[in-house]
């Protein structure tokens, strides 16, 4: 027979002596809803089951199945089993009734937490027993050690290894009391936790190295976990102004110059996390608080009588934002004057990376304001100029474009490479390995001119256009020879690539005879005929723009012939000697500084390409991109 939830609710209601109306009031529902449940005309919503179980002091399982808990009473249970039973149910009243808060130690973590043996604090965290946790905190944070149970320093020292676990759980439990008791706001945030008992200084100074540390992950979790109550965020983000009365200075022989007091280090992390989590109201309030405290310090500093101090006294702002005064004539005696909190470059760069002009400007203006007020101190907050800021935003936009390209699943890998190459984010080797010439030509020229035959052959590039480009920009004979040797080993039938390398002067193992035989074989297999140049138009007044238009229409032979004519005319303006051929003129131009070495090599390649067209002599290989470089080299001659 199926269990009736409605009949169970009716029985429990009657046992309490309540009417349907009275039960409905306790549940904040109508008496008709209760009547409907009990008559089996409907069921309570799932969210109401825990409330019903609590009202009737039964388990949800009992409501659903009608099976009563056959376990023995709490008083008859083994004490340890009872403690964990209560933790599992977060039964705070009975936990306190049996005095288990006195046996709950906040540092009672086994060395190996996967041993299968729970301790009270581990069980509380495991079962999210927030009520019991808060009750234990209220009763006093106890530690399993020889230290005084209630002394703050002893508590922190004893729980040193478990700060992150305890703080995260306390935040989820909404336990501001715990955070207050450990003075959490005096902690520092570190990516690398290095809390070391041998190095801990129990009395903090203005140096972060003397602070207890919490991990970056923990502070991020506090601000991003939606289960952390806002009262915890409000507490952490309540700024504590600098108070000189809470700082003590040692004056005896034993502790002369020693600084003790309350110091705080999390301002930058709080600003960052408030900004990341878009809590703008809290952020603006926090910025206003730190600005007021910073300006108060600056006013105090500006009003100091510094007459007679001279070079022996130095004022500076530490990495933790404290304004300190160091007197070298007093054995380096240091006093803390206040706090000047700027916005770190990291936070400003974060706003820029979000392309958030509003807050990037807000942060920068804040730094400008402090910088303007405090001029007689070592103080240089991050304040980029308008030009620098514009460049930073452009860089951020580019990074977003690049990320979008990388994550775009709707384009092919070839399209992705071309887009990334246009953004100058691919390396030369990336496109060579992919054998993607179209992506290669989109790289910056400073990257393209590094191409050489050895790099191509070793990475298995097979697009002949790569090799044509390489022999036109790289004239390293050794790399040329190595490239040919690798091609013969890897791709012995790629006669087109062999032809390009041989035409550029590659030799097989310094063996001229063998090289000539290879040239004959390549000629036979390629079956190339002489170029018919009878239709090439000569235009002695051609412009650079016209040549580029001819390149776009693939009239490369026209461009080569006419660009060579322009090269010769331009060189003769500088070199008027009679009987000097074009090759000599190019070399002469290099000698007298009209062209650089790279353009000299390009102009020689153009000359040889023209000769191969007009005289059908040695072959010359070129691509559209190579011809464009030749034209640019010609018109660089002024």
**pLDDT attached to residue 232:** 96
What integer pLDDT is reported at residue 530 of this predicted model? 47
Distance between CA atoms of 189 and 580, rounded to whole angstroms?
A: 75
Q: What is the pLDDT of residue 398?
A: 95
CA atoms within 13 A on the CB side of 575: 24
Q: How far is CA 227 from the centre of its chain?
A: 25
Q: Which has the higher per-residue pLDDT, 13 or 136?
A: 136
Domains of the chain: 5-65 (1.10.260.40), 74-182 (no CATH), 183-292 (no CATH), 345-407 (no CATH), 451-526 (no CATH), 544-634 (no CATH)
Q: With contact defined as beta carbons under 8 Å apart, do 452 and 427 qualify?
A: no
Contacts 24+ apart (CB under 8 A), 510-518: 510/481
More confident residue, 82 or 157: 82
Cα–Cα distance measured from residue 172 to residue 510, given in angstroms and rounded to the nearest whole number: 76
CA distance 591 to 597: 9
- Beta-carbon contacts of residue 346 (< 8 Å; ≥ 6 apart): 268, 272
According to DSSP, the β-strands at 188-190 and 213-215 are parallel
Q: What is the mean pLDDT of residues 187-203?
A: 64
Decide: pTM greater than 0.75.
no
HSE value, Cβ hemisphere, 13 Å, CA-based, for 578 = 0
Position 475 confidence tier, pLDDT thresholds 50, 70, 90: confident
Please write the tens of the pLDDT for every residue from 343-394.
999 999 999 999 999 999 999 999 999 988 887 777 789 999 999 999 999 9
pLDDT reported for residue 437:
93
The secondary structure of residue 590, as a DSSP letter, is: H
Note the pLDDT of residue 6: 84
Alpha-carbon gap, residue 596 to 593, rounded angstroms:
7
497 three-state secondary structure: helix
> Which residues sit opposite 334 in a β-bridge?
326
Strand partners, 189: 214
Assess whether pLDDT exceeds 80 at residue 309: no
Q: pLDDT tens-digit profile of 44-78?
A: 887 788 888 888 877 777 787 776 655 568 888 88
Q: How high is the pLDDT of residue 353?
A: 96
Q: What is the pLDDT of residue 148?
A: 44
Structure-model confidence comparison of residues 144 and 557, the more confident one: 557
pLDDT for residue 617 is more than 60: no
For residue range 521-576, what is the model confidence (pLDDT) as tens digits? 777 776 654 445 556 788 888 899 999 999 899 888 899 999 998 998 889 888 87
User: How does pLDDT run across 272-284, given as a tens digit for each residue?
Assistant: 999 999 999 999 9
Residue 167: how many other CB atoms lie within 10 Å? 23
CA 600, CA 594: separation in Å to the nearest integer? 10
């Amino acid at each position: 027979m199926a269990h009736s939830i409605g009949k169970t609710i009716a029985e429990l209601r009657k046992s309490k002596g309540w009417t349907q109306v009275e039960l409905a009031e306790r549940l904040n529902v109508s008496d008709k809803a209760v009547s409907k449940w009990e008559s089996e005309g409907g069921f309570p919503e799932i969210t109401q089951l825990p409330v019903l179980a609590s009202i009737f002091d039964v388990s949800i399982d009992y409501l659903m199945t009608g099976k009563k808990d056959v376990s023995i009473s709490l008083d008859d249970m083994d004490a340890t089993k009872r403690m964990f039973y209560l933790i599992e149910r977060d039964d705070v009243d009975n936990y306190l009734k049996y005095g288990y808060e006195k046996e709950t130690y906040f540092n009672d973590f086994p060395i190996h937490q996967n041993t299968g043996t729970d301790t009270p604090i581990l069980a509380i965290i495991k079962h999210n027993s927030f009520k019991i946790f808060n009750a234990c905190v209220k009763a006093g944070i106890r530690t399993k050690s020889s230290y005084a149970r209630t002394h703050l320093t002893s508590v922190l020292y004893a729980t040193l290894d478990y700060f992150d676990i305890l703080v995260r759980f306390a935040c989820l439990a909404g336990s501001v009391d715990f955070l207050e008791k450990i003075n959490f706001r005096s902690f520092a945030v570190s990516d690398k936790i290095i809390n070391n008992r041998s190095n801990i200084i129990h009395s903090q100074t203005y140096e972060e190295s003397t602070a207890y540390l919490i991990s970056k992950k923990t502070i991020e979790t506090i601000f991003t976990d939606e289960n952390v109550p806002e009262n915890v965020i409000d507490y952490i983000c309540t700024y504590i102004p600098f108070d000189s009365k809470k700082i003590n200075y040692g004056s005896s022989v034993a502790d002369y110059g020693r600084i003790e007091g309350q110091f705080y280090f999390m301002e930058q992390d709080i600003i960052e996390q408030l900004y990341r989590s878009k809590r703008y109201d809290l952020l603006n309030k926090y910025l206003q608080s730190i600005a007021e405290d910073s300006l108060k310090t600056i006013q105090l500093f500006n009003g100091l009588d510094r007459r007679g101090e001279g070079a022996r006294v130095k004022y500076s702002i530490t990495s933790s934002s404290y304004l300190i005064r160091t007197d070298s004539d007093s054995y380096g005696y240091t006093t803390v004057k206040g706090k000047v909190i700027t916005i770190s470059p990291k936070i400003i760069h974060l706003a820029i990376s979000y392309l958030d002009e509003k807050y990037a400007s807000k942060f920068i203006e804040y730094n400008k304001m402090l910088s303007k007020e405090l001029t007689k101190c070592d103080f240089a907050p991050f304040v980029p100029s308008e030009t620098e800021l514009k460049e930073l935003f452009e860089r951020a936009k580019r990074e977003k474009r690049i990320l979008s390209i990388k994550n775009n699943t709707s384009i092919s890998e070839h399209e992705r490479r071309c887009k990334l190459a246009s953004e100058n984010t691919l390396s030369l080797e990336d496109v060579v390995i992919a054998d993607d010439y179209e992506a290669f030509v989109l790289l910056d020229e400073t990257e393209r001119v590094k191409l050489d035959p050895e790099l191509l052959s070793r990475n298995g590039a097979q697009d002949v256009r790569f090799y044509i480009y390489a022999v036109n920009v790289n004239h390293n004979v050794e790399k040329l020879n190595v490239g040919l040797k690798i091609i013969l080993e890897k791709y012995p039938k790629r006669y087109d690539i062999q032809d390009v390398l041989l035409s550029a002067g590659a030799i097989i193992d310094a063996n001229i005879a063998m090289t000539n035989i290879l040239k004959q074989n390549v000629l036979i297999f390629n079956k190339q005929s002489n170029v018919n140049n009878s239709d090439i138009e000569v235009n002695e007044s051609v412009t650079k723009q016209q040549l580029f238009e001819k390149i776009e229409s693939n009239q490369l032979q026209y461009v080569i012939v006419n660009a060579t004519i322009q090269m010769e005319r331009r060189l003769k303006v500088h070199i008027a000697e009679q009987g000097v051929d074009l090759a000599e003129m190019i070399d002469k131009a290099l000698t007298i500084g009209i062209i650089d070495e790279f353009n000299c090599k390009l102009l020689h390649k153009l000359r040889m390409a023209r000769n191969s067209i007009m005289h059908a002599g040695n072959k010359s290989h070129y691509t559209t991109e190579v011809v464009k470089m030749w034209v640019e080299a010609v018109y660089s001659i002024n």
